């Protein structure tokens, strides 16, 4: 029998399950650190995955509780894409990762763990990041604790830093059009 120790999951396993969607944020920001919210925009936000596939695994979600990509308004879709661009840039800068998986699992059949609220995943990837652990024992290692990753990423998502980053991305797009 294989044993994998993950003691931080016991709180989730034994604890009460929320009656509400974990991606439906309260307007009050008091719980943002506990919920691992990195950034709040006008129509969408950035949050870390509490059960990541890899270090730095973050998600972009619209505030509105929708299941389908086609249900997003133009403003929501635009802001989600802007945040995906900014997040991809931040992950490359901070984690120095040569690749990033960016994806959306729409619906339970497609692998969505929380199908009721649309959310995009960004997972930093490194060549060989699965290492021998995954090959020999179907196990992945996480070299940094989630709280340390959150603390390290948080300054990149400060409102002024994000405003500057999003403006720079918009300028870049405008320059390409000219």
Q: Are strands 99-104 and 44-48 parallel, antiparallel or unpaired?
A: unpaired
Token pair, residue 105, equals 């699992």
Does the annotation place 121 within a ligand binding site? Answer: yes
Cβ atoms within 10 Å, residue 98: 11
Over its C-alpha atoms, the chain yields an Rg (Å, rounded) of 17
Cα(136)–Cα(168) distance, integer angstroms:
44
Active site residues: 119
Does the annotation place 101 within a ligand binding site? Answer: no
Q: For residues 112 and 106, is the Cβ–Cβ distance under 8 A?
A: yes
Going by the annotation, the residues of the binding site are: 49, 121
Going by the annotation, the residues of the binding site for substrate are: 49, 121
């Amino acid at each position: 029998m294989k044993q994998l120790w993950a003691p931080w999951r016991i709180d989730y396993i034994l604890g009460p399950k929320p009656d509400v969607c974990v991606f439906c944020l309260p307007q009050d920001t008091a719980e943002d650190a506990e919920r691992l919210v990195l950034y709040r925009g006008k129509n969408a936000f950035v949050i870390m995955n509490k059960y990541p596939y890899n270090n730095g695994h973050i998600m972009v979600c619209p505030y509105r509780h929708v299941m389908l990509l086609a249900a997003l308004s133009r403003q929501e879709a635009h802001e989600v894409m802007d945040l995906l661009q900014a997040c991809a840039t931040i992950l490359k800068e901070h984690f120095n990762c040569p690749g990033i998986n960016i994806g959306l699992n729409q619906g339970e059949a497609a692998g969505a763990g929380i199908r009721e609220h649309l959310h995009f995943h960004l997972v930093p990837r490194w060549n060989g990041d699965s290492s021998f652990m995954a090959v020999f024992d179907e196990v992945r290692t996480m070299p940094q604790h989630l709280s340390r990753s959150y603390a390290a990423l948080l300054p990149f998502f400060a409102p002024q830093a994000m405003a500057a980053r999003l403006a720079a991305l918009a300028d870049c797009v405008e320059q390409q059009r000219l």
